[in-house]
Structure 1
Amino acid sequence: MQRIFFFVALCSVAFLVAGCGEEPAAVREAEKNREVIEQLPPEDREAALEQAKCPVCGEALGSKGPPVKAEVGGQTMFFDTQSCADSFVRAPAKYRSKLTE
């Protein structure tokens, strides 16, 4: 009986320790994206961090390199690629609602 208890306890500890070593992938990805955004000029960093996602594709800003800044209708916005910025400029009404989500 003691052997079974010892074996179960040992397996439980091994299981718990095995899961403690790494950060979740989402946390690492968010940190990487933030580091990319931190490379922007100081006046753009806060706005890009606040916006967080590309209004066209929904990807996290910084996930595909430095965000692309664009002035649209007197408002500064950030996009994950130039292609997304171009799409937004062509059809802003289609994507503007994603900014508030």
Structure 2
Amino acid sequence: MILVHIIIEKREQAMEIIDTLLDKKLLFNAMLSEKKVFEKDSRTGELKSKIQILVIGKTKSLLFNSINKLLISMYGNTNKMPRIYCLPIVYMDPEQSEALLERTVKI
């Protein structure tokens, strides 16, 4: 089991991604959060911030590549392509784990 993190610039795109991934049963569930991200400007050295949207979804680890390929097919090499990575879930309640297995695509 993993937590997929998808970072996007626009809330509308995040909702489109969540809807698509849930429809295709690639995610068990999803959480959306707006985050203020800080970076140093490479030219001036000033601290700058911007708002980014973070989608976190629980799923099977074997579905990560399918999710990534789907996002590539949706957004390709455009500036709309979200950044994606995953984190392992070390432990999950057995009932929730069983529900996740039942409600995602069979592999």
Q: TM-score band, normalised by the shorter chain?
A: under 0.3
Structure with the bigger percentage of strand: 2
Rg larger for: 1
Q: TM-score, normalised by structure 2?
A: 0.24
More helix as a share of residues: 1
Higher RCO (CA < 8 A, seq sep 6+): 2
